[in-house]
Structure 1
Amino acid sequence: MDIRFFHLADVHLGNFQYQNQERYNDFAKAFGDIIETAIAEQVAAVVIAGDVFHKRSIDALTLYQAKHAFSLLKAAGIPAIVIEGNHDKAHYRDAQVSWLNFLSWSGDLILLSAINAGSELHFAPWSSESKQGGYYDLPGGVRIYGVPWYGGSTAAIIERVGEALRRMAEDEAQAGVRYRALMLHTGVDGVVPNLHGLPTRTQFDPLRGLVDYIALGHVHKPYAFDDWLYNPGSTETVSAEEAAWKRGYYDVTVRLDDASGAPLHTARHVLNKQRPFLRWSFAVDDLASPEVLLARFTAWCAEHAASADRSTQQFGGPPVIDIALTGTLVFDPGALERRALEDVVRRTMPALHVLLRNLFNAVDFDPASSELDGRNEATRQELELRVFRDLLARDARYAPTAEQWAKVVAELKGHALGDDEPAAIAAWLREAQQRLTTLETAE
């Protein structure tokens, strides 16, 4: 006898990403596609290891999206077995009642949570009357245990989970349990750099021999260890940095009648349909002015338009375009017209949303490197001129006459701090600009 279930996590319904309605819809569509597949394949259960929602306070449409999807499963006779993730947990002010609690009480899903009784955890059977419990039994002797998000305490909780499962041995034998899966909303330390506070791989070892499949959530990158620990990744792209990860869900088949006498499983990672993110880098080195950069960027976008067109055709809608501006910018970053660059992308290729990230370097003036002391009135003006000159010199438009422009800026400061009329200052500045432009042309 084979029992088949889907394991997914980190659905993040209600994520109004980039304040874009289509991205909001994408998260519901990704979830809906998996639910439709589960119904078509007539799996025994859909197991969700936390973060059904993107945030603790959801709106009515997000609740409808969740309730509709779970109602389809219920109508097909497929239980949705869920634990709370950190995004699902209720606010303290809400008396610890989350929206997953509401859906559980409404009969839309089975929300599992071990009972935390001081120094011990206890697993109680799911009750259809109280809508509470720490485990749920599927046909054939497959038992699903659930432990919600515990944050930084997870490593210690795992040891207590092991103790609780050892106490369940007699109950499992009496109930004819032949295969055990455990849902945990946590990850494994080191899988994603700079994601800290997670248990190490060896800290899961107290569960060895007590459960056959550990269904993880929380980390959006898919991974598996030892045919035992499984994390499917998120069902949609929650952050652009995750776009390269092949995320989806696990299609798990448990072979209860294996000839060896020991139930075995196969877990196939399935990539569900997700809106594509196209991530590129554009080098700003040696582009001497905003005008030159804009012209080069326009040509570069034209070269990449075919990729965006293909992506649109394959998915059935435009991708999110993510462009990192890299290298060294040789003019003032304040002169970079981001809106103009974004408009170029939208005119050149199909794009649901455009992300422009400033990852370039700019040469900054370091006053600490100067031998001049700004606290000394005798040298303050000289230091001021040097600061102006060095700032102007790093902008390719002013570098050839940075010394002269520095004097103009210093004099402009004096006019501004004096009693000169704004119109007179503007006229003086136009005259100075014309004079220096003539000088640059002559050179």
Structure 2
Amino acid sequence: MKFVHISDTHLGYHQYGLQERAQDFYDVFDEAVDFAIDKKVDFVIHTGDFFHSSRPSNQVILQGINILQKLKNAGIPIFVISGNHDRGSQVRDVSPLKILEPSGLRLIDNGVTEYDGIFFAGLKYISKAGLKQIGGSIKPIFEKYLENMGNGFKILMLHQEFQPFFPSSNLYLKNEIPEGFDYVGIGHYHIPQMPAVVNGATVVQPGSTEFTAYNEKEEEAGKGFYYVEVDGKEIKPQFIKLSRKRPFLYYKFSEENIEELAKQIKEDIEKLEGGKKPVVVFKGFLKELTYKDIYKYLSTEGISEEEGSILHLHFNLTREVTEDEGLTVIETSTEKINQELKRLIGDNELFESVVETLNFLRTFDNIDEIKKYLKENPDAIDI
């Protein structure tokens, strides 16, 4: 038996408001499907965030149908669960993945299904508030799943936050995964992990197929999916890196070396071998310069979106402020903001729900994207 495990494709994400980035998310998803077809796998599993939005556009739905049609034509079924991005909004709406069921997608958000002697159990994303409503543990759900599974290979599909990948989570894999499953596929965490054995099950987290928010750890780990071969009791997951992803060039920014940095970026761009134009990311601090100044320095080396050398320049910069007593402080502090927010809200459960919602909105790159999303999804803030 062999299958492909893919996760967090975020189809339809117009990162930076660019159509090119939306196409990037489709391209890597399509590459993974081409691999599955070439290997003639028995099936594909997808562990959540198939779409980036619970209300994908008509164009994005068509992209999803195209992906599924390729698998259907090859006779390869795909089993999917809903992630936090595409789960719908509880009782007010259903997951948009339901729309794709006639195209061959098999949605197993809360239950068990059997295919060719293999058992699939799925659980869609549950928020922290939702976890508290069920007692804080998802293990009883999985134990009931096992009661409905016969003799055969057992796969559990999750899109959930676990320690230590999400430090604020109270869920631990060893406590939540009961013995009895053979393979546990987990989505939501965007950095791929080495497979591990937990309570007898092979646990695999493939990460996302593209950068929804760039960071160095994701770059080091790479973007891809898992190709899994099962020979008797031996489970052999192999991480497959994607080749169609857009290059990201990451730099630590310092005003003191801006001229040297511009020259280095130019050299790095020239080393890229064709393909897609890169996204350049700056992280660091601003003191005297403005963004306009930075653009000016870069343009002297021919680095700009207008000249076509890069797709986008993304700033992740914080301005430093010097107080009268000479101490340097940062303008914003997430920790201080959260403390004040918690004090104002009062109720700890409501505070956690608000923070969870804000963290979701932080995946967007500017306020215009957030406004557009909230306008199209009036019930998105489900707290």
Whole-angstrom distance in 1 between the partners of 2:236 and 2:162:
21
Name the counterpart of 1:40: 38
Alignment correspondent of 1:200: 172
C-alpha separation in 1, matches of 2:318 and 2:291: 16
TM-fit CA distance, 1:79:
0.2
Q: How does 1:362-401 map to 2 (within 5 A)?
A: 362-365=321-324
Q: Give the aligned partner of residue 278 of structure 1.
A: 249
Contact 2:162 2:169 in 1 (8 A): no
Indicate whether 1:264 and 2:234 are aligned: yes
Match among 100, 103, 108 for residue 103 of structure 1: 100
Please report how far the alpha carbon of residue 264 of structure 1 lies from its aligned counterpart in structure 2 after TM superposition: 2.1
Task: Say if 1:50 and 1:218, in contact at 8 Å, map to a contact too.
Answer: yes
Counterpart CA distance in 2 for 1:19 and 1:66 is 20
When normalised by structure 2's length, the TM-score is 0.74
Q: Kindly tell me: are residues 74 and 361 of structure 1, through their superposed partners in 2, closer, same or farther at Cα, counting changes over 3 Å?
A: same
Which has a greater percent of helix? 1
- Equivalent of 1:81, from 75, 79, 82? 79
Relative distance call for 1:40 and 1:57 in structure 2 (3 A) is same
**CA 1:221–1:81: 2 relative to 1, 3 Å:** same
| Identity fraction in percent | 24
Q: Deviations over 1:343-377 (max 9, x none)?
A: 45328992111112324534233699xxxxxxxxx
State the one-letter code of the partner of 1:307.
Answer: D
The answer for unaligned runs of 5 or more in structure 1 is 115-122, 124-133, 257-262, 286-295, 369-443
Pairwise CA distance, 1:157: 4.8
Cα separation, 2, equivalents of 1:309 and 1:334: 26
SS at match of 1:240: coil
1:337-376 residue pairs with structure 2 within 5 A? 337-341=293-297, 343-344=299-300, 345-346=303-304, 350-359=309-318, 361-365=320-324
| Distance in 1 between residues matched to 2:219 and 2:170, nearest whole Å | 22
Task: Report the alpha carbon displacement of residue 143 of structure 1 after superposing the two structures with TM.
Answer: 1.8
- Compare relative contact order (CA 8 Å, sep 6+) and give the higher one, 1 or 2: 2
Is the 1:73–1:79 Cα contact (8 Å) retained in structure 2?
Answer: yes
Q: Alignment partner for residue 212 of structure 2, among 234, 238, 245?
A: 238
Q: Is the 8 A contact 1:186 1:217 kept in 2?
A: yes
Letter in 1 for 2:39: E
DSSP 3-state at the match of 1:51: coil
Report if the CA contact (8 A) 1:284-1:325 is conserved.
Answer: no
Q: Give the Cα separation in 2 of the matches to 1:218 and 1:99.
A: 18
Which whole-Å CA distance do the structure 1 matches of 2:295 and 2:269 have between them?
A: 20
For the residues of structure 1 that align with 2:72 and 2:234, how far apart are their CA atoms? 27
Aligned with residue 164 of structure 1, among 144, 158, 164: 144
**Structure 2 counterpart of 1:108, one-letter code:** G
1:135 counterpart = 2:94:
no
Q: Over the residues paired in the alignment, what is the CA RMSD in angstroms?
A: 2.6
Aligned length: 313
Q: Could you tell me how far apart the structure 2 residues matched to 1:341 and 1:55 are?
A: 37
CA contact (8 A) 1:309 1:349 kept: no
Matched, 1:178 2:152: yes
Q: Which runs of 5+ in 2 are unaligned?
A: 328-383
Q: CA deviation at 1:228?
A: 1.8
Please state whether the residue corresponding to 2:324 is helix, strand or coil: coil
Instruction: After TM superposition, give the deviation of residue 201 of structure 1 in Å.
Output: 3.0
Which one has a bigger Cα radius of gyration? 1
| AA matched with 1:337 | D
- Is the CA contact 1:187–1:216 (under 8 Å) kept in the aligned structure 2? no
Q: CA deviation at 1:339?
A: 4.2
Change in CA separation of 1:301 and 1:151 when aligned onto 2, cut-off 3 Å: same
Number of the residue aligned with 1:225: 196
Name the structure 2 match of 1:23. 21
- The 3-state SS of whatever aligns with 2:223 is coil
Distance 1:143 1:103 in 2: 21
Query: Deviations along 1:135-174, whole A, 9 cap, x unmatched?
Result: 232x3x3222111111224584522223213423xx50xx
TM-score by length of 1: 0.65
- Contact 1:85 1:148 (8 Å CA) reproduced: yes
Q: Deviations over 1:246-289 (max 9, x none)?
A: 23111111113xxxxxx22111111112111110123224xxxx
Encode CA deviations 1:206-242: one digit per residue, 9 max, x unaligned.
x12x101100001101113327221100011111124
Partner of 1:29, secondary structure, is: helix
Pick closer, same or farther for the CA change 1:136–1:342 going to 2, 3 Å. Answer: farther
Q: Quick one: distance in 2 between partners of 1:319 and 1:84?
A: 31
Counterpart amino acid of residue 30 in structure 1: V
One-letter identity of the residue aligned with 1:180: K
8 Å Cα contact 1:186-1:198 kept in structure 2: no
Q: Distance in 2 between matches of 1:108 and 1:100?
A: 11
- Provide closer, same or farther for how the CA distance between residues 334 and 254 of structure 1 changes in structure 2, counting only shifts above 3 A: closer
